[in-house]
Amino acid sequence: MNPIDPQLPPGDPLVMLGLLASAILFAVGIVGFLSRRNMITMFLCTELMFQGAGLAMISYGRQHMDLSGQVFVIFILTVAAAEAALALGLVVLLYRRKETLSAEAWKELAES
């Protein structure tokens, strides 16, 4: 039973491998994001998740012999780069405020 798509023409191992790698990347990212408290690490984990998603797109593009997946990824990379600049800047600001990188220091949204 093919868990991805029953109509896939079997045989392109690159697709399967790519998807597997993307799933692993995403899973690592999510586990990392949930388990770590360091904001920079958490940010890196989100980047991992991004890349996992990107890799999945490229793989599907490969399967459908379509370039739009890759276009998307280039787009995502650009956004991610911009976002990295912003996010790291934010982290620096947050660090200056409380002299710690722990995400737990920021609980203002809590319903107290």
Which of 78/102 has CB closer to other proteins?
102
Q: Which residues bind other proteins (CB under 8 A)?
A: 6, 30, 33-35, 37, 42, 103-104, 106-112
Q: How many CB atoms lie within 10 A of CB 69?
A: 18
Task: Return the amino acid letter for 59.
Answer: S
Closest distance of CB 53 from other proteins, Å = 12
Which of 16/103 has CB closer to other proteins?
103
Distance of CA 17 to the CA centre of its chain: 18
**What residues contact residue 49 under an 8 Å CB cut-off, 6+ apart?**
25, 26, 29, 30, 33
Which of 34/65 has CB closer to other proteins?
34
